[in-house]
Amino acid sequence: MTSGTLIGDGLALDSDLFAAADSAVEAALTEFGDIAPDLACIFVSGGAPAETAAVLAHAAAAIGARNSLGCTAHGVIGQGRGVESARGVSVWVARLPGVEVRAFHLEVMRTTESIAILGMPERREADVVGLVLADPWSFPIDGFIDHSDTVLNGLPLVGGLASGANQSGETRLLLDGHVHERGAVGVFLGGDLSVHALVSQGCRPIGQPMTVTDSEDSLIFALAGRPALEQAMAVVDALPELDRAMAIRGLQLGVAIDEYRDDFAHGDFLVRGIVGADQVAGSLTIGDVIGVGTTVQFQLRDADAAHEDLTEVLSAFRNSRSAQPIAGALLITCTGRGRSLFESGDHDIDSVRDTLGIDRVAGFFAAGEIGPVAGRNHLHGFTATVLAFCG
C-alpha cells in the first residue's frame, strides 16, 4: 500500500440501485485493501427520493469512510463513462494522509426581513479547499457564493447543485452517513494536501470587447453607447453562417476578470448567460449584476469551443505539474453538457482522463457548478469543474 494519496472510482447501472451501489463500491475500493478511505463521494441517479436516500446511506455504510458526501444526480460519472437519465450509482473514494477533513451541514433560517445560513465553520489556517453540494430548491446558493470569499477569507470552493429532482423536496443530500432533504453539505480539506480546482467555461469570444454604458442590476441597456440588443445582433450578423446558427442557441456574455488589461483573450472573462432580451427597450438580461463601466465581450458556446477550452485548461495544469503525479480527480459537469452538447455523455470524463493521464475520475452531472475563476468563487452553468488531487 502506497503511503501517498490514493483515489478509487466505481460506477454501476442496475434497475436495482442497491445492487448498483454494491458494485460501484467494490470497484472503487479495489486498491484500498483493509484501509478505510478518508473521504467518499456518492452520487445516485434514477431513484425516487426515498429510494435515493436509502441507497446513499447504504453505500456510505458499505464504504466505511471517515467522511462521506453525496447527492441526487441527473447522471453519474465514473470508470471512463458518463451516464445520464439512467438508474445508476457512482462512487469516488480517497485516502488522504496528513489531511484534516471537517464536515458541515448548512441550513437556512428565514425571517420576515432576511435569511441566515447556519452551520458554516470558520476557516482555519490549514484549510486548502472546500467541497460543497447543495439543494437548488432550498439553499440560496447565489448569495452564499457571493459572500463566500469574504466569509471564508478566499478559500476556494468546488462543488455543484444536486440535479435529477423534479420539484422542491425531492433532493437528497448525504453527509457522513446521514441523509438530509434541504440545505447544503460539504467538507473542508486542510493540512498536507496538494489539490487544484480547474474550471472550464466552454466558450470562445466573438466580436470585440465593449464597455457597459447603461445598466441597472441584471439589465444592460447600452454597450459602447448603443442599445445592447443591437450590439448583440451586430456581432451575430458578422459571424460565418454556421456560427450564426449556433449563436442563436449559445450566445453568452463574458465579463472581464481584469478591467485593467489592454488586450483580452480566451480565458480572460467570467462567462454569464443571457437570459432574456427586450425588443422595445433594446436591453439584455444577464444572469448576474453588471455595473456601468464593466468591460464585456460576447461569447459563443458550442461543442468545439467547449472541447477546446476543457483541453486547454487541463493541458495547462498538466504541464505545470510535470514533475508531480496526479492521483485522480472529482469531475462535476453540467447537465447541459454530455449528450446535450457532445455526441456522448463520456466526453468530459474522457477528456480529463486522457489529458491528465489518470484513470481514477468520478463525479456527477450537476444543475450548476461551483468553482473559482481568477481567485474568486462563482456559481457557473454549462461548465466542467475538476478537483485534481496530486500526490
Give the DSSP per-residue string, 9-52.
EEEEE-SSHHHHHHHHHHHHTTTTTTPPPSEEEEEEES--HHHH
Q: Strands 75-78, 361-366: parallel, antiparallel or unpaired by DSSP?
A: antiparallel
Residues 107 and 182 sit within 8 Å (Cβ to Cβ): yes
Distance CA(8)–CA(93), nearest Å, equals 5
Unique residue bearing C-alpha cell 484513470 = 359
pLDDT for position 265: 67
pLDDT for position 245: 80
User: For 10-66, what is each residue's pLDDT tens digit?
Assistant: 999 999 999 999 999 999 999 999 999 999 999 999 999 999 999 999 999 999 999
The mean-pLDDT minimum among 110-119, 126-135, 182-191, 209-218 falls in: 110-119
Distance CA(387)–CA(131), nearest Å, equals 9
User: For 118-173, what is each residue's pLDDT tens digit?
Assistant: 999 999 999 999 999 999 999 999 999 989 989 999 999 999 999 999 999 999 99
Cell of 104: 458541515
Residues 67 and 104 sit within 8 Å (Cβ to Cβ): no
Distance CA(252)–CA(246), nearest Å, equals 11
* Mean pLDDT (the chain, rounded): 93
User: For 268-316, what is each residue's pLDDT tens digit?
Assistant: 899 999 999 999 999 999 988 999 999 999 999 889 989 999 999 999 9
Distance CA(198)–CA(91), nearest Å, equals 20
